[in-house]
Amino acid sequence: MSRAEPLYRPPPDVLRLPLLGRLLKHRRGRLLFQIPLLIVAALLIYDGFTGEQIASRNLATVGAWVHYRGVVILALLLAGNLFCMSCPFTLPRTLAKRWAGRGGRFPRLLRNKWLAIGGLFLIFWLYEVTDMWASPLLTAWVIVAYFIAAFALELLFSESPFCKYICPLGAFNFAYSTLSPLQIGVRDPKTCQRCVGKECLNGSYSPQPVILVDQIGEAPPIQHDSRGVLGCGTLLYAPQIKSNMDCTLCLDCARACPHDNVILGVRSPLRELGAPRSLPRRWDVNFLLVALAFMGIVNAFGMVPPVYALLREMASALGTNAEWLLLLIIFLIGSLALPALLSIGAAWLANALTGKKQHPRSLRDTFAAFAPAFVPIGAGIWAAHYGFHFVIGALVIVPVFHNFLLDHGVTLFGTQVNWKLGAVIDAEQFAVVQVILLIGGYLLSLILARRIAAREFGAARAQLAFLPYALLFLALLLAAFFIFSQPMEMRGTPELDGLFH
Ligand code: SF4
Ligand code: SF4
């Protein structure tokens, strides 16, 4: 007797919601989110180049360094990769595609996350060295550079190499969207097996209306018109998606599927990270997850007084006052060397403690298996940090925008600018939220690591494999508590510039 196949039940689908679903899947649906952000980006660039060069009074610095970062981490944890979905930098994509046709593939050697990890390191280091947060002009140039890079790479290559391999913001969003409650999937995998065109991946970019040769019939087929639709820019194939990594949530796949088979399913935030092989067992992808947790610590460390004490010590020990060099050493050690050393060390220890000889396992397998467990603690650290700057400076945007309008002769809201506006809640109240975020992230990381240890090493050896990671997460938590208990620089916030006690 043949065993019956388990019945596949698709999860609840956001794209089926009455109004929102239609809006998201509409041909111009993404534009509705991108155009407001494009206008915001244009305002930031304009004010950055022409406005008052004071961080706390310029839209570029306040918008980019106070608001963007706080909103992005919140959106990732509550919904998904909403920034990439609304990303104005990808707006030139369609234009570039129409000009360039399909283009070639990105060089094989660079088809990984090493460039993005390098980009993240570079941007965090440059942010400190150049005091980017204090320079509206520099911030505006960074935004312009983003537009140029995204457009040029779309023009040259068939996939979206900027989003997938280079963009540091995208790499951050991809990493933490693995914890998001929404994920692309399909309603009926059998429909995909019989689908000929695989339009979710290939698109139906044709000068003529597409002729369907696979009249499957489960759902009324959607006829694409002569304007065609793009397939997945980052080359993900909807029925095989197990992870949010590389998904920009652009929903092109949902628009392209002629069988209306793509869903935006609701899932448990820990599902992907706890599942085996939802992410490839590659050094680059998994190191991104580990390094970001450490980068969260180093990024916050750059804004508290002990960093200055350390810089002084290093300057006298090394006999140099070159701040760029001293910061480079701190960032290299904290963001790249330490995560590599400690996470590979933990993997080696887990293998050694559980009897490598009797149960041989490669170092990479153990490293990659545990890397997803670094995501919750990393997300907790970033949310505690960026959330803090956001709640303390959220209302600053009101006087800054008011002042911007006045500078351009618009007196719609009167002529009195209230520069006192700033915090939504005070720092002491948010300290409680920070503790919850840090401990919550730490506990979720422990739960994941314990699950992974049991799955990979079996119940009898799970405790031993788990031990090095439990210690490593505890060290990260203590480092985070130390940093967040220090007075933090409030950058780009009027009245609060300087240390916040
Ligand atoms: S998601 Fe749609 S386009 Fe993609 S393989 Fe399945 S049925 Fe075909
Ligand atoms: S799977 Fe690809 S096409 Fe679909 S939403 Fe994600 S990035 Fe866009």
Q: Which of 125-129, 134-138, 200-204, 303-307 has the lowest mean pLDDT?
A: 200-204
**Ligand 1 atom nearest to 191, measured from its CA:** 7
Report pLDDT for 501: 31
Higher pLDDT, 417 or 279: 279
Check pLDDT > 70 for residue 219: no
Q: Is the pLDDT of residue 209 over 70?
A: no
Specify the residue with its C-alpha closest to ligand 1, atom 6: 192
Contact yes or no for 79/71 (Cβ under 8 A): no
- Answer with the residue of higher pLDDT: 223 or 350: 350
Mapped onto helix, strand or coil, the DSSP state of residue 33 is helix
The tokens for 214 are: 């696979």
Q: What CA–CA distance (Å, rounded) separates 457 from 358?
A: 12
Find the 188 Cα to ligand 1 centroid distance in Å: 9
Q: For 157, phi and psi rounded to 5 degrees?
A: -125, 155
Separation of CA 383 and ligand 2 centre (Å): 25
**Ligand 1 atom at shortest distance from the alpha carbon of 195:** 8
Q: Pick from 14, 34, 236, 257 the residue to mutate for probing ligand 2's pocket: most ligand atoms within 8 Å of its CB.
A: 236
If one compares 480 and 148, the residue with the highest pLDDT of the two is 480
pLDDT of 201 above 60: yes
Q: 203 CA distance to ligand 1 centroid (A)? A: 10
Query: In the predicted model, is pLDDT for residue 222 greater than 70?
Result: no
Instruction: Ligand 2 pocket test: pick from 164, 247, 263 the residue with the most ligand atoms within 8 Å of its Cβ.
Output: 247
Q: Does residue 194 surpass a pLDDT of 80? A: yes
Q: Is 117 in the pocket of ligand 1 (CB under 6 A)?
A: no
Which comes out higher in pLDDT, residue 353 or 219?
353
* Bridge partners of residue 263, in order along the sequence: 185
Please give the Cα distance from 266 to 271 (Å, whole number).
11
**What atom of ligand 2 comes closest to residue 251's alpha carbon?**
5
Q: Which of 119-123, 130-134, 329-333 has the lowest mean pLDDT?
A: 130-134
In the reported structure, the alpha carbon of residue 199 is separated from the centroid of ligand 2 by a whole-number distance in angstroms of: 12
Quick check: 235 pLDDT over 60?
yes
Distance CA 292, CA 377 (A): 10
3-state helix, strand, coil in the chain (%, to 5): 65, 5, 35
Contact by Cβ (8 Å): 480, 438: yes
Looking at per-residue confidence, does 205 or 153 come out higher?
153
Please provide the size of the chain in residues: 501
Alpha-carbon dihedral angle through residues 381, 387, 392, 393, given to the nearest 10 degrees: 120
pLDDT (tens digit per residue) in 172-183: 999 999 999 999
> How would you label 307-338 residue by residue, b for 16+ Cβ within 10 Å and e otherwise?
beeebeebeeeeeeeeeeebbeebbeebbbeb
Q: How far is the CA of 249 from the centre of ligand 2 (A)?
A: 5
Contact 469, 373 (CB under 8 A): yes
Nearest CA to ligand 2 atom 3: 232
Side-chain-facing half-sphere of 256: CA atoms under 13 Å:
25
What distance in angstroms lies between residue 238's CA and the mean position of ligand 1's atoms?
A: 7
Whole-number Å distance, alpha carbon 177 to ligand 2 midpoint, is: 13
Contacts of 2 (CB under 8 A, 6+ apart): none
Categorize the per-residue pLDDT at 116 as very low, low, confident or very high, splitting at 50, 70 and 90.
Answer: very high
Q: Is the CB of 262 under 6 A from ligand 1?
A: yes
Write the single-letter amino acid at 172. Answer: F
Going by pLDDT thresholds of 50, 70 and 90, the confidence category of residue 500 is very low
Is 147 or 370 the better-scoring residue by pLDDT? 370
Domain residue ranges of the chain, discontinuous segments joined by + = 26-177, 281-500
CA of 262 to the centre of ligand 2 (A): 10
Helices (H), 26-135: 29-50, 59-62, 69-78, 82-85, 92-100, 114-129
Q: What is the mean pLDDT of residues 141-169?
A: 86
Residue with tokens 């992870």: 243
pLDDT at 102: 60
The mean pLDDT of 338-367, rounded to a whole number, is 90
- Residue identified by tokens 């019989």 is 194
- Evaluate: CB of 259 within 6 angstroms of ligand 1: yes
Mean pLDDT of the chain: 87
Among 25, 205, 214, 257, the mutation site with the greatest number of ligand 1 atoms within 8 A of its Cβ is 257
Using the atom order of ligand 2, give the atom closest to the CA of residue 241.
1
- Residue 255 CA to residue 501 CA, distance in Å, equals 50
State the closest ligand 1 atom to the C-alpha of 186, by its place in the atom list counted from 1: 1
Other CB atoms within a 10 A radius of the CB of residue 418 amount to 11
182 Cα to the center of ligand 1, angstroms: 19
Q: Which ligand has its closest atom nearest to the C-alpha of 218?
A: 1
Q: Which residues contact 451 (CB under 8 A, 6 or more apart)?
A: 274
Which ligand lies nearest to the CA atom of residue 198 in the structure?
1
For residue 197 the two structure tokens come to 């065109």
What confidence tens digit (pLDDT) does each residue in 292-346 have?
999 999 999 998 999 999 999 999 999 999 999 999 999 999 999 999 999 999 9
CA atoms within 13 A of residue 296's CA, in its CB half-sphere: 33
